[in-house]
């Protein structure tokens, strides 16, 4: 749909509703399986950072997965407002996999695709940014999956 969702509230509520219909938020493992199906090696799919040789392009093809370059919403300026970043240049997508090594706050794996790039990024981010005004949720794209029966 191209809409951006925050992880802590919106994504989890929608995942619950989607689960009733057989859909769920993909795990980091789901993304790695997709990347491997598109040609990425297992060792490369396990790496952090920009990886792949053409998988990012395949994920953006309109007759394929059609991931959109929806950008993200994060804190802007001094932390007093939310800012739409990189729309049209990057697409950021949540996974449901929490990185347990982060102790200060909740952090999850995500994927990022880039306009005119053949690679896809795998990394970890916190689900919110801290400012003088408190915690502000980050917003990224969501792509649901359904298990084959």
Give the pLDDT of residue 66.
79
* Residues whose CB falls within 8 Å of the CB of residue 102, separated by 6 or more in sequence, listed in order: 124, 126
- How many alpha carbons fall within 13 Å on the CB side of residue 25? 26
Q: How far apart are CA 40 and CA 18, in angstroms?
A: 29
Rounded to two decimals, the pTM is 0.82
- Going by C-alpha positions, the residue among 93, 98, 36, 87 that lies closest to residue 67 is 93
Q: What is the pLDDT along the chain (149 residues), one digit of tens a residue?
A: 456 777 766 555 555 666 667 788 899 999 999 999 999 999 999 999 999 998 888 888 887 787 888 888 776 656 566 777 888 889 899 998 999 998 877 899 999 999 989 999 999 998 877 765 566 778 888 888 888 77
Cβ burial of 93 (10 Å; 0-12, 13-18, 19+) is buried
């Amino acid at each position: 749909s191209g809409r951006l969702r925050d992880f802590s509230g919106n994504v989890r509520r929608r995942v619950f509703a989607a689960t009733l219909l057989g859909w769920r938020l993909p795990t980091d493992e789901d993304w790695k399986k997709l990347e491997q199906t598109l040609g990425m090696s297992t060792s490369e799919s396990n790496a952090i950072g920009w990886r792949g040789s053409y998988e990012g392009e395949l994920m953006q093809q309109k007759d394929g997965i059609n991931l959109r370059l929806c950008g993200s919403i994060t804190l802007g300026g001094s932390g007093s407002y939310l800012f739409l970043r990189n729309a049209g240049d990057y697409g950021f997508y949540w996974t449901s996999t929490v990185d347990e090594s982060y102790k200060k706050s909740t952090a999850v794996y995500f994927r990022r695709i880039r306009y005119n790039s053949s690679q896809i990024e795998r990394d970890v981010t916190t689900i919110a940014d801290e400012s003088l005004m408190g915690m502000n949720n980050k917003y990224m794209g969501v792509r649901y999956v359904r298990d084959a029966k």
